[in-house]
Structure 1
Amino acid sequence: MNPLVLPGVYAPQEDTDLLAGALSDEPLPPGAEVLDVGTGSGALALEAARRGGRVTAVDVSRRAVCAARWNAWRARLPVRVRHGNLFEPVQGQSFDLILTNPPYVPAPAAGREPRGPARAWDAGGDGRLVLDRICREAPELLRPGGVLLVVHSALSDPDRTLAHLRATGLKASVTRRRRIPFGPVMRSREDWLREQGLLSADEDNEELVVVRAELPC
C-alpha cells in the first residue's frame, strides 16, 4: 500500500528505501520503542509498526503530521504522530531505535531558515543544519543497547557525523551506501555545489549513506 503524500510533504524516495533496508537489518523485538524523526508521510514509521514496534513519529510540518496520521489509520497501525521540531515532543522519553531521514542538502543563502517544502531537504551551506543537532540530542534519548539510524548525503560529511556520535560514547559506522542520479533539487543547484567544491566537474550522481550508531549496554 503506497502512502498518501500531501502537497508539500516529502515523498518516499531512494533515501527512504535505503533507510528502510537498514531498518530491516535490525532485530526489533515486539514492543520495542521506536522514534521516527522527520517522518514525512510516515513510511518508515509504518514499517517499524508492522514489525511490532511501539512507534512515535514526529514532524515539524503540520501537513506531514496529517499525512502520517491518515496513513497509519488506513494501514490500521497504532503509530503515535506528534507535531514538533525534532526531539522537542518526546523530551523525557527513551527509545530502543531512532530513525531519521533529515534535511541534508547543502543550500545557498545559508543564513536563511528554509521555508515551505524546502524544509524537507535544505540544510544550510554545509548540509549540517539539522544533522549536527541530531548528533547532539539523539544519544540522550537512546536506551542502553539502543540504535540510531540516520541517512544523508555524502556531500554533508559522513565522517563528521561519525566523529560527533563517537564523541558522545556511541559506536558508529556507515553500514549502507548507494549512488543515485541527481534529483530535481540537486540538478537545480549543481553549479553552486561545484563552486563550493562539493562536486567535481564531472560528477553527475550522489552517494547516500546510512550511519548506524549504538549506545553500549
Structure 2
Amino acid sequence: MTSAPAPPLSPVLAPAGVYAPQHDTALLTRAVTAEQPGPGTEVLDLGTGTGAVALHAARTGARVTAVDISWTAVLTARLNAARARCRLRVHRGDLTAPVTGRTFDLVVSNPPYVPAPEETPPASGPARAWDAGPDGRALLDRICADAPAALRPGGTLLLVHSALCGTEATLSRLAAAGMRAEVSDRVRIPYGPVLTGRHEWLVARGLADGSPWEELVIVRAVHA
C-alpha cells in the first residue's frame, strides 16, 4: 500500500459549480504518480472537474484526454490547461461516451460519490459535483461497468471514493467485469460540511457510525 506523501497540487481555478481539489484529489494524484505515466502513456480522466488530476498526468508527458458532463467544468479544465501550458484534450459528455471505441493505458476518476437523500442526482447546481444518490453509487457502478471497454489489455483503472459508498461493492463489481481489483491506498479524514450536515441521515441509513471521520480509498483495478 502506498505510503509516500501526496504530491502538492498545483493551483487551479475552481469557479462556483466546479469541484475544487480536496483530499480525494490529492489521493488520486498520488496514485497516478505511483503508476509512473510518461510519454506514450494514454490517460483518460472521467469527471475531470478543474482538470487538476489530468494536468498532473499531462505534466509527465502522457497524452491525456479528460471528460466532464458539465460545460462549466469543461471550460474550466481547458482554461487551467492553457494557464499551465499543458496539452489536454477536454470533451463534454457522459463518462466514456465521448471516447467510445478508444482505449487507454490508464483511466482515472474522482466521480461524485456522496450519499444523498434524493433518489436522483442533481442535474445542475453545486451539489452535482458530489451528490450520487442514496448509496453514493450512481456513478461508481457505471464506471465499474464501463471501464473495461475503455482500457487496453493490462491497462489500469484508478478510482477514488469514500468507504461510505461500499468499498467491497466496488471490488466485487470490478471483479465481475473481469478486472483484478484491490484497495491500493486509503486515508482517514474528518467530515467536511456536506457530510456533517447529513451525519444523522447517514447513521440512520446504516452508511456511517457515530464517528465524524470518513475513509477515502483508491481502488486500483487491472484489465486482464
Q: Does TM, scored on the shorter chain, surpass 0.5?
A: yes
**How far, CA to CA, are the matches of 1:83 and 1:184 in structure 2?**
29
Q: Please state how far the C-alpha of 1:27 moved relative to its aligned partner.
A: 2.7
Matches within 5 A, 1:52-131: 52-111=61-120, 113-131=122-140
Give the deviation of 1:115 after TM superposition.
3.0
Give the match for residue 137 of structure 1.
Answer: 146
1:207 to 195, 215, 218: 215
- Counterpart in the other structure of 1:190: 199
Alpha-carbon distance in structure 2 between the residues aligned to 1:98 and 1:63: 22
Local SS of the residue matching 1:78: coil
TM-score computed with the length of structure 2 as normaliser: 0.93
In 2, distance between residues paired with 1:112 and 1:68? 22
Aligned with 1:126: secondary structure?
Answer: coil
Q: Is the 8 A contact 1:114 1:122 kept in 2?
A: no
- Provide the rounded CA distance (Å) in 2 between the counterparts of 1:176 and 1:98: 16
Give the alignment's TM-score, normalised by structure 1: 0.96
State whether residues 104 and 128 of structure 1, in contact with CA within 8 Å, keep that contact through their aligned partners in structure 2. Answer: yes
In the TM superposition, residue 169 of structure 1 has moved relative to its aligned partner by 1.4
Size of the aligned set, in residue pairs, is 215
* RMSD (CA atoms): 1.1
Quick one: distance in 2 between partners of 1:198 and 1:169? 27
Paired amino acid for 1:192: W
Q: CA deviation at 1:29?
A: 3.5
1:13 corresponds in structure 2 to 22
Q: Which 4+ stretches in 1 moved above 2 angstroms?
A: 111-115
SS at match of 2:164: helix
Is 1:180 the counterpart of 2:177 in the alignment? no
Q: Distance in 2 between matches of 1:29 and 1:111?
A: 38
Structure 2 runs not aligned, ≥5 long: 1-9
Q: In the alignment, residue 195 of structure 2 is paired with which amino acid?
A: M
- Cα distance in 2, alignment partners of residues 50 and 6 from structure 1: 23
- Counterpart amino acid of residue 215 in structure 1: H
CA offset at residue 211 of structure 1?
Answer: 0.1
> Unaligned regions of 5+ residues in structure 1, if any?
none
1:188 & 1:84 partners in 2: Cα distance? 31
Q: Percent identity?
A: 56
CA distance, structure 2, for counterparts of residue 114 and residue 81 of structure 1: 20
Q: Which residue in the other structure is 1:147 paired with? A: 156
